[in-house]
Amino acid sequence: MAARFLLALCLCQVAFTVQGQVFDVPHQQDSPTRTLFVGVQNPKALVLLFPGGGGLLHLKDDGSTRNRHTFVRSTDQWAQYQIDAVLVDTPYDLGDLRRGDRRNKEDHLKRVGEVVDFYKLKTGLPIWIFGHSMGTSTAIYFVNQLNEDSKKLTGIIIAGTVRTASLNDKVSLPVEAIHHQQDQCSGTPPSASKDIISGRPKNYISQLEIVEGGITEGNVCDSFGYHGFNQTEPELIKRAAQFILNQK
């Protein structure tokens, strides 16, 4: 038993490396916003991935991270759909529902806009923003600004939506909400995603996707629970990618 515990502990401490290129997006005189770009040949779109929790990935210069968030585990799966993927880090903790959500702060949203600009100029591709769990706060706060930065996006995807999320009716971008049927995290009930989509104006492109299956391990609010689409990552990416590619 002790040996198995030590093995599990060691595995948790191993850095996870995604094959890609690190780009530090400048931010005034402060620390840049680190991103990991995983590109493909002949891409059709680019998706910016904002993870949950405090948002900290601690990406190293080689793109490695000890964070095993859902998006980290599945970054390479976007390639089969000819979609470039970008993991977006943060230089500081963005809080959570318990400690206080700081994703609506001007500095954070400015950084998101800078990342959108950077990759729009770099690739010229349609840019999508995709937030999971607390990352849905980033995505929704950003598009709710209805400013020039948010208008550069092609669409928004949210998964494991936080219960505090509220999308402005004036946001006309295509929206997809994905949730695991068995998500038991009190801060991210399936109703949060359902309410976002059911509340959208009928003339807007909106879609709700419910995922089933997989397994849950540890805290129900962590990325290895149903909340984090544990062992259903391929289905999560497939449904998001198909929605992206279906928008002309």
Q: What is the pLDDT of residues 63-94, one digit of tens each?
A: 999 999 999 999 999 999 999 999 999 999 99
Res. 6: pLDDT tops 50: no
CA distance 141 to 225: 25
Alpha helix ranges (H) inside 56-153: 70-74, 106-123, 135-144
pLDDT tens sequence across 10-53:
334 446 667 799 999 999 999 999 999 999 999 999 999 999 99
Query: Residue 72: inside a domain, yes or no?
Result: yes
Query: Residue 4: inside a domain, yes or no?
Result: no
Determine the angle formed by the axes of helices 135-144 and 106-123, rounding to 10 degrees: 80
Residue 10: predicted pLDDT: 36
Res. 246: pLDDT tops 70: yes
pLDDT tens sequence across 195-207:
999 999 999 999 9
Query: Residue 142: inside a domain, yes or no?
Result: yes
Query: Residue 13: inside a domain, yes or no?
Result: no
Residue 1: predicted pLDDT: 39
Q: Could you tell me if 147 and 129 are in contact, meaning their C-beta atoms sit under 8 angstroms apart?
A: no
Does the pTM of the predicted model rise above 0.85?
A: yes
Residue type, 113: G
CATH assignment at residue 216: 3.40.50.1820
Res. 216: pLDDT tops 60: yes
Residue 3: predicted pLDDT: 37
- How many structural domains is the chain composed of? 1
Domain encompassing residue 174:
20-246
pLDDT > 70 in the chain, percent: 93
CA distance 125 to 94: 28
DSSP letter string, 60-95: -TTSEES---HHHHHGGGGGGGTEEEEEE--SS--E
Query: Residue 12: inside a domain, yes or no?
Result: no
Query: Residue 6: inside a domain, yes or no?
Result: no
Query: Residue 240: inside a domain, yes or no?
Result: yes
* Average pLDDT score, the chain: 93
Q: Mean pLDDT, to the nearest integer, of 115-126?
A: 98
Query: Residue 9: inside a domain, yes or no?
Result: no
